[in-house]
Amino acid sequence: MTKLYPSVLVCCFLLFFFSSQKIVAQCNCKPGVPATPITYLDTILPTQASTSIFSFPKFDPSIGTLSCIEFNDTVSVVVTTFARNTDTTAGHNYTFVTSIGDVVNGPNNSGSYNWAASTQAGTKIYGPTYLDQDMIDMHPPQTRLPGDSVTYGPDTLINNAIGAGSPPDFAPFIGTTGSVNFDMELSGGAIAIVGGTNYLTGIKSNSWGTFRLTYYWCPTGTLANNIVNFTAFKNSGAVQLQWQDESAGTGVSYAIEYSTDGTSFLPAGYVNANSQESASSTQTFKYTYQSANTTPGKLYFRIRRIGTDGKASYSVIKSLSFSSSSLAGYQVYPNPVKNSVMLEFDEVQNGNFIVSIINTIGQVIQQKSVILNGTNQIKMDLVNKPAAGLYYLQAKDQTNNQQYISKILIR
């Protein structure tokens, strides 16, 4: 038993780990053009409950077409272990193993909580610890020996573990009203791998976490395939919009539109193509939107292209978050990644960044330093392309002590 039990624990950990690695779907509206993200956050404060429930709003299908869904969490679990020798004939040297498992369940059509959105596991070995014989059952009754029990911890068995997943079915997430429920469940215990069978153990856990659900969606209207490299970012209280048209020319115009809910758009301004350029040339356009938004929330922007035939088509929608948080919003695309990946912030950045690609066991595969000065994009080329699979893209802002992490799939 002494040799087999740690192996069983390792197998359980690997089962937890790999079952959580769901592959996120292609989140593009068209090749190279990322879908628009809407992100919701929820938090579980430290609790001793073995099951905690949290929820997110459903995706309103009137906004557009849902491209994919990504769930991310960061979970911690602290465990205290209690053990007692119940052998009334002798004391023993005990070695105990405490294990804890955390499963975040999401909704699915086949049941309320049966999609394992994220799983984590942790173990810790204690001992050897000598526990004296138990005198509690001796006749006549004896004073209980103080050395027959031990308390280990509290110890952090799961420490800010990052999990991610993508649901197999979008149906439970779609609706004009209501919410989708998730639950976080803990299970585990302690067992002696040395010391015999006459003992009692128990554990007390304290867990907490942050949870994020992101909907990636595309507009239902006709996409303007001519418009590329559309970006929107905050700069000194204004919103800077920039895009390129691969076939602009005389008679082509653009209406800049904004929305507070992602559904109803209003005009913000107009820009005309350069009539001196031919229709086959690529033109770059810029527009500054003076935001009057002073309350937390999001603004959505799109470009309506009016062609020479009078027909309208639309760019993808870009969203910017306005809140009191010092952490900038961001998105990563394309995802899956082939040869390079772009990290795009929703406001200009100034600072020294270290960008890393990290595998699922925490090894840094590729890393580079970048200095951003009034820009909002970081491009990471795969110099030595790693094996296809799941990785994390991490950007550390050393100047402002911020960190951004996103899950990517390399093909």
Share of residues in the chain with pLDDT > 90 (%): 32
Whether residue 389 sits in one domain with residue 332? yes
Confidence of residue 19 (pLDDT cuts 50, 70, 90): very low
Is a pLDDT exceeding 70 seen at residue 6?
no
How far apart CA 406 and CA 410 sit, in angstroms, is: 13
pTM over 0.95: no
How far apart CA 354 and CA 365 sit, in angstroms, is: 13
Query: What pLDDT does 325 receive?
Result: 58
Whether residue 282 sits in one domain with residue 229? yes
- 121 forms bridges with which residues in the sheet? 101
How far apart CA 262 and CA 15 sit, in angstroms, is: 40
pLDDT, average across residues 92-119: 84
Whether residue 163 sits in one domain with residue 24? yes
pLDDT, tens only, 370-380: 999 888 889 99
Query: What pLDDT does 169 receive?
Result: 83
Q: Which of 17 and 359 is assigned the larger pLDDT?
A: 359
How far apart CA 355 and CA 343 sit, in angstroms, is: 10
Is a pLDDT exceeding 90 seen at residue 203?
yes
Domain of 409, CATH number, reads: 2.60.40.1930
pLDDT, average across residues 329-335: 78
Is a pLDDT exceeding 90 seen at residue 49?
yes
DSSP-assigned letters across all residues of 131-197: EPPP-TT-SS--PPPGGGEEEEEEEEEEEEEEEEE--S-SGGGB-SS-EEEEEEEEEEEEEEEES-S
Query: What pLDDT does 323 receive?
Result: 66
Domain end position, chosen among 155, 183, 218: 218
How far apart CA 377 and CA 259 sit, in angstroms, is: 24
Is a pLDDT exceeding 80 seen at residue 106?
yes
pLDDT, tens only, 286-295: 888 887 665 5
pLDDT, average across residues 272-290: 78
Confidence of residue 31 (pLDDT cuts 50, 70, 90): low
pLDDT, average across residues 196-207: 95
Q: Which of 44 and 62 is assigned the larger pLDDT?
A: 44
The bridge status of strand 253-259 relative to strand 283-290 is unpaired
- Segments forming the whole domain that contains residue 244: 224-324
Cα distances (Å, whole numbers) of residue 238 to 191, 232, 320, 378: 60, 10, 11, 21
Whether residue 37 sits in one domain with residue 85? yes
Which range has the top average pLDDT, 27-41, 117-131, 219-233, 280-294?
A: 117-131
Q: What end-to-end distance do the CA atoms of the chain give, in Å?
A: 42
pLDDT, average across residues 161-185: 87
Whether residue 229 sits in one domain with residue 87? no
SS3 258: strand
Give CA 295 to chain center in angstroms.
25
Confidence of residue 9 (pLDDT cuts 50, 70, 90): very low
Give CA 126 to chain center in angstroms.
33
State the virtual CA torsion across 129, 76, 164, 45 in degrees, nearest 10. Answer: 150
Confidence of residue 32 (pLDDT cuts 50, 70, 90): low
Whether residue 173 sits in one domain with residue 25? yes
Q: Which of 77 and 314 is assigned the larger pLDDT?
A: 77
Query: What pLDDT does 219 receive?
Result: 76
Whether residue 180 sits in one domain with residue 117? yes
Instruction: Tell me the one-letter amino acid at 322.
Output: F
Whether residue 157 sits in one domain with residue 35? yes
| Residue 225: count of CB within 10 angstroms of its CB | 13
Whether residue 80 sits in one domain with residue 142? yes
Whether residue 190 sits in one domain with residue 248? no
Query: What pLDDT does 261 receive?
Result: 75
Query: What pLDDT does 276 receive?
Result: 67
In 3D space, the residue among 86, 82, 81 whose CA is nearest the CA of residue 198 turns out to be 86
Is a pLDDT exceeding 60 seen at residue 109?
no
Chain-wide mean pLDDT for the chain?
82
In 3D space, the residue among 404, 321, 46, 403 whose CA is nearest the CA of residue 210 turns out to be 46
Query: What pLDDT does 278 receive?
Result: 62
Query: What pLDDT does 279 receive?
Result: 62
**Block residue for tokens 């009191």:** 324
Whether residue 189 sits in one domain with residue 43? yes
Is a pLDDT exceeding 70 seen at residue 191?
yes
Instruction: Tell me the one-letter amino acid at 45.
Output: L
Confidence of residue 238 (pLDDT cuts 50, 70, 90): confident
Q: Which of 115 and 261 is assigned the larger pLDDT?
A: 115
Query: What pLDDT does 10 receive?
Result: 36
Whether residue 22 sits in one domain with residue 79? yes
Tell me phi and psi for residue 11, to 5 degrees. -65, -40
Domain end position, chosen among 324, 350, 366: 324
Domain end position, chosen among 267, 289, 324: 324
How far apart CA 263 and CA 257 sit, in angstroms, is: 11
DSSP-assigned letters across all residues of 288-355: EEE----SSEEEEEEEEEE-TTS-EEEPPPEEEEE-S-SSPPEEEESSSBSSEEEEEEEEEEEEEEEE
Number of domains in the chain: 3
Task: Please check whether residue 172 is in contact with residue 107, taking contact to mean a CB–CB distance below 8 angstroms.
Answer: yes
How far apart CA 372 and CA 178 sit, in angstroms, is: 41
Instruction: Tell me the one-letter amino acid at 159.
Output: N
- 32 forms bridges with which residues in the sheet? none
pLDDT, average across residues 119-143: 82
Is a pLDDT exceeding 50 seen at residue 11?
no
Lowest mean pLDDT among 42-56, 62-76, 110-124, 209-223: 110-124
Confidence of residue 159 (pLDDT cuts 50, 70, 90): very high
